[in-house]
Amino acid sequence: MKNQNLAIASQTTRREFLGGMALALAGAGSCLFLPTLSGAAAASNPSIRFPSEPRQRICVSSYSFREFIAGEHHKSGNPTIELKDFAAHVVEKFKVNKIETWSRHFPSTDPTYLKQLRSAVENAGAAIVNMTVSGKDSAYSADRDERERAVANCKKWVDAAAVLGSPSIRTGVSPAKSSKPNVERLAESLNKIAEYASANNIPVHLENDDPVSEDAYFIVKVIEQVNSPWIRALPDFGNTLDGHDENYAYPAVDAMFAHAYAICHVKPSIGTENGVIPVGLARTFGILRRYSYKGYCSMEYDAPGDPYKATASLIDTTVSYLS
């Protein structure tokens, strides 16, 4: 779907939902979040009001169930879950009413589909509290056209988040064939994204995901260079343990939490080429508490084995650490 059409639909849909959005989200135990209408003055800071009750701070990532959700990662022989049914599935299986969606699980970004998805989520008594976005173009590429495509992709998903009522997104930083990670070029791209995000009241997060293009310390340097309340860190508990020892990984997560806002990814372990590496949850939740982090904790299981059993256990563990 062309960005222009999505942007137009975003504006009208936001008006349609504006009157009832606060009530619907409050009923789902979600944050109180109202996106800014197009043409209104941009907010100076994000205005998400997070719940304080531990279980209400938990969401379940669709990424954990990629082998079950319809799409390119669906595993033959597994039950097929449509993205629009995922929220109801999570409520039924885990008694959690918040989800985090992955862009590669969207069969369409057509405005009609986005409205159907939002209705399905709300009918389940649930809410989308973050969207993880992936793309093929690098926002730090030496090729300006590629950087512009990466910026446009992020803006498209900001528009989608506004339609869906998601208060934030995470944008991936893809590797560039033409360049090593570059702080200045990525910061230039993110400044454009920050301006767009502020007009929509939707903060954009960067995650310590890819060991090259999204190394935690590189991400922190870029966030500090941009110096915008609309560009924040998404600390992942386990990703940096893939390729680094704990003397590197945990201080890196600490550096990410210094810039965290609305979302973090909780993992009990991380699957690597060298096997499954356990995450020191007590140590990482200690970092979370030290920074008085108030945002959501997304359950993201990313290791071999049954994600249902692991997610249920991780929810219980997370509730105990947040209590």
Q: Kindly write down the DSSP assignment for every residue of 160-228, as one continuous string.
A: HHHHHT-S-EEE----BTTBS--HHHHHHHHHHHHHHHHHHT--EEEES-STTTT-HHHHHHHHHHH--
- DSSP three-state, residue 274: coil
**pLDDT tens digits along 30-50:** 444 444 444 345 678 998 999
Question: If 0-12 CB within 10 Å is exposed, 13-18 middle and 19+ buried, where does residue 308 land?
Answer: middle
**pLDDT tens digits along 102-112:** 999 999 999 99
Per-residue confidence at 74, pLDDT binned at 50, 70, 90?
Answer: very high
pLDDT number for residue 43: 74
pLDDT number for residue 260: 98
pLDDT number for residue 75: 96
- Contact yes or no for 101/139 (Cβ under 8 A): no
Q: Which of 225, 148, 142 is nearest to 176 (CA)?
A: 142
**pLDDT tens digits along 189-232:** 999 999 999 999 999 999 999 999 999 999 999 999 999 999 99
CA distance to 39, 46, 197, 202, 259, per residue, from 43 (Å): 12, 7, 10, 10, 19
Compute the mean pLDDT over every residue in the chain, rounded to the nearest whole number. 90
pLDDT number for residue 42: 63
Q: Which of 21, 20, 13 is nearest to 38 (CA)?
A: 13
pLDDT number for residue 41: 53
For residue 273 the two structure tokens come to 């080429």
pLDDT number for residue 212: 94
pLDDT number for residue 281: 98
Domains of the chain and any CATH numbers? 3-322 (3.20.20.150)
- Distance between CA atoms of residues 51 and 153, nearest Å: 30
